[in-house]
Amino acid sequence: MRVAVVGATGMVGEVMLQVLAERQFPISELIPVASARSVGKKLDYNGNTYTVVGLEDAVSMKPDVALFSAGGETSLTWAPKFAEVGCTVIDNSSAWRMHPDHKLIVPEINANELTAEDKIIANPNCSTIQMVMALAPIHKAFGIERVVVSTYQSITGTGVKAVQQLENEYKGIKGDKAYPHAIHRNALPHCDVFLDNDYTKEEMKLVNETHKILDPNIRVTATAVRIPVVGGHSEAINLTLTKPVNVDEVRRLLSASPGVVVQDNLEANDYPMPLAAHGKDEVFVGRIRKDNSQENGLNLWIVADNLRKGAATNTVQIAEYLAAENLI
């Protein structure tokens, strides 16, 4: 299969290439694509060296599938051009997520919605993916009325500039800043830009994308916080269910869910942490307990590597499903 990776030199693009190799995705020709300043650079993949090409050249090469991680503006402009030549685009930006004509896919939950006609497929936001992975089996069994989620998000979700800011601040070096304040030894209740409703775009992604993937009737409210962590995103989630909750049944359901690992042994101080989730594809769930302050309440703690299941791995899994079902 002819596979283009758009944004191949970026943080997520590099992880996409790593995941493609690890999962032995069937590639007959790899087409690494990046912006003009990276065109001509050499890139190693699976023991071979490839030359980075521009978007125009990539379209003319008519790949079978294109994995996009190059920002919303690039996706809005170029995804339709790839689709016009018969390529299936799986886009990791926010550009197409809430578009009514394009599907928002977490393979373990709703891949069966995909058809051969879906030429632009949206990959959800990283914080949404890990949350709905845990919520989907609970919603099916108990019904979820309301979600209150507080996120503790890795700086890698912002990109290379944020990682550099943290490293500079740790070393006491002045440099470019990705955030309006210091991130070292700090926590910023500010992920993405603020909107007119006083929530951030990141917070509203958790609301809107959960509605599109799971159920528009679930009430969701979110607070997203950036913390000086590299390994992955963490989420404290409080649920109000429609039925009385059985914690043992929740653990059983989550343990049986593909891609979810229950890590909940308090005697051994065993619970999900971003340091342990780093480099892994699973979504880790722990601190599963009743909320004794309300009827049918449940608390969860969820952690996942935001560059892998939160971005690259989910994208590749969508491509795997399409290939297995002969949809590309």
Could you tell me the pTM of the whole model? 0.96
pLDDT tens digits, residue range 259-290?
A: 999 999 999 999 999 999 999 999 999 999 99
Instruction: Encode burial over 69-90: b for 16+ CB neighbours within 10 A, e otherwise.
Output: bbbeebbeebbeebbeeebbbb
> 């991680």: which residue's tokens?
69
| pLDDT tens digit at each of 328 positions of the chain | 999 999 999 999 999 999 999 999 999 999 999 999 999 999 999 999 999 999 999 999 999 999 999 999 999 999 999 999 999 999 999 999 999 999 999 999 999 999 999 999 999 999 999 999 999 999 999 999 999 999 999 999 999 999 999 999 999 999 999 999 999 999 999 999 999 999 999 999 999 999 999 999 999 999 999 999 998 999 999 999 999 999 999 999 999 999 999 999 999 999 999 999 999 999 999 999 999 999 999 999 999 999 999 999 999 999 999 999 999 9
pLDDT of residue 87: 98
142-188, pLDDT tens digit by residue? Answer: 999 999 999 999 999 999 999 999 999 999 999 999 999 999 999 99
- Please identify which of the residues 87, 102, 139, 233 carries the catalytic annotation: 233
87 is catalytic: no
Of 265, 170, 279, nearest to 231 (Cα)? Answer: 279
Residues 6+ apart with CB under 8 A from 163: 155, 156, 230
| Active-site residue flag, 126 | yes
Cα 218 to chain centroid distance, Å, stands at 20
DSSP readout, 172-211? T-----SSSS--TT--BS--S-B-TTS-BHHHHHHHHHHH
Domains of the chain: 2-124+311-324 (3.40.50.720), 127-306 (3.30.360.10)
* Other C-beta atoms lying within 10 Å of the C-beta of residue 140: 13
pLDDT of the residue at 130: 98
Question: Side chain identity at 97, as an amino acid letter?
Answer: R
Question: Please, which residues bridge with residue 224 across strands?
Answer: 151
Per annotation, catalytic residue among 126, 139, 191, 278: 126
Contact 241, 294 (CB under 8 A): no
| Helix-strand-coil split of the chain, %, nearest 5 | 35, 25, 40
Which one-letter amino acid corresponds to residue 26? P
